């Protein structure tokens, strides 16, 4: 394990040491930089990739078929809400000289994406803060504006694939990808996912950890924001 990795593991333990750091009721007593948050998110991404590979293997051994394939990007039409560290990973990657054109193309697509998304992020975050799963389900099942192709997607491909957020890595559908795109209330149901306890628990832990890092960087009780919106701000010229 490298010194940096050890440092990040220690930071993760400290952020998890008090639930108040996650809830935002108490300020984290150390400085956490945007780069610390981004490096922590990268560490979690690598672990989630190992978990999704293990889940795919378990599915295959159980005779189950994961429907996701390259080119199917229906789940990229859902609003991706993230904590700041995950957006920082993407922004940092886009700001590398070799990714200049990808960044320019994203900044061209973004205004149309933002116009379409309206006040959806605020409504999603309000429902999530209340733990109102029924409201979230209503938003994502019935409201057309909840389906808006991510501005980081070009021609069906994720342009930031190596650094995409955890939720994009973990998302999957069993057997019938046609249900991933539903927003009309015809009762056909949502996509089915495969419960895989080790990964599901790791995702839950990662969510709390990223939230604590987010609070430490951005400020106490700062809400999650749309990935595209944060990346737009973080990559603004000057
Ligand atoms: S970041 Fe990439 S994988 Fe995630 S929603 Fe956007 S285009 Fe899709």
Output the pLDDT for position 108. Answer: 98
Which amino acid residue places its CA nearest to atom 5 of ligand 1? 76
Q: Which atom of ligand 1 is nearest to the CA of 160?
A: 2
The mean pLDDT of 119-129, rounded to a whole number, is 89
- Would you say the CB of residue 217 lies under 6 angstroms from ligand 1? no
- Would you say the CB of residue 82 lies under 6 angstroms from ligand 1? no
- Would you say the CB of residue 150 lies under 6 angstroms from ligand 1? yes
Enumerate the β-bridge partners of residue 200: none
CA 69–ligand 1 middle distance (angstroms): 14
CA 154–ligand 1 middle distance (angstroms): 10
Report percent pLDDT > 70 for the chain: 94
Report percent pLDDT > 90 for the chain: 64
Output the pLDDT for position 71. Answer: 77
The mean pLDDT of 13-20, rounded to a whole number, is 96
Work out the mean pLDDT of the chain and round it to a whole number: 90
**Higher-pLDDT residue of 111, 223:** 111
pLDDT classification of 186: cutoffs 50, 70, 90: low
Count CB-CB contacts under 10 A for residue 182.
18
Helix (H) / strand (E) element for 226: namely: strand 225-226
Q: How far is CA 227 from the centre of its chain?
A: 7
- Would you say the CB of residue 68 lies under 6 angstroms from ligand 1? no
- Would you say the CB of residue 230 lies under 6 angstroms from ligand 1? no
pLDDT classification of 42: cutoffs 50, 70, 90: very high
How far apart, in Å, are the Cα atoms of 67 and each of 75, 177, 178, 179, 180? 12, 6, 10, 11, 10
Using the predicted structure, report yes or no on whether residue 171 has a pLDDT greater than 80: yes
Using the predicted structure, report yes or no on whether residue 178 has a pLDDT greater than 90: no
Q: Tell me how many domains the chain contains.
A: 1
Domain range enclosing 53: 3-234
């Amino acid at each position: 394990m490298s010194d940096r990795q050890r440092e990040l593991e220690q930071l993760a333990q400290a952020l998890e040491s008090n639930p108040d750091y996650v809830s935002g009721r108490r300020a984290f007593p150390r400085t956490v930089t945007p780069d610390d948050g981004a490096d922590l998110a990268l560490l979690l991404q690598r672990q989630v990739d190992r978990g999704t590979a293990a889940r795919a293997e378990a599915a295959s051994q159980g005779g189950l078929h994961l429907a996701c394939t390259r080119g199917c990007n229906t789940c990229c039409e859902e609003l991706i809400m993230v904590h700041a560290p995950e957006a920082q990973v993407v922004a940092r990657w886009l700001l590398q000289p070799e990714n200049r054109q990808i960044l320019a193309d994203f900044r061209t697509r973004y205004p149309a994406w933002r116009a379409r998304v309206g006040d959806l992020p605020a409504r999603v975050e309000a429902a999530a803060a209340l733990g109102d799963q029924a409201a979230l389900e209503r938003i994502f099942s019935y409201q057309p504006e909840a389906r808006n192709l991510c501005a980081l997607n070009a021609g069906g491909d994720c342009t930031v694939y190596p650094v995409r957020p955890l939720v994009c890595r973990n998302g999957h559908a069993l057997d019938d990808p046609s249900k991933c795109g539903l927003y009309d209330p015809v009762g056909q149901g949502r996509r089915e996912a495969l419960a895989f306890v080790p990964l599901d628990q790791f995702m839950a832990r990662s969510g709390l950890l990223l939230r604590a890092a987010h609070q430490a960087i951005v400020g106490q009780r700062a809400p999650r924001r749309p990935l595209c919106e944060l990346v737009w701000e973080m990559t603004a010229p000057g």
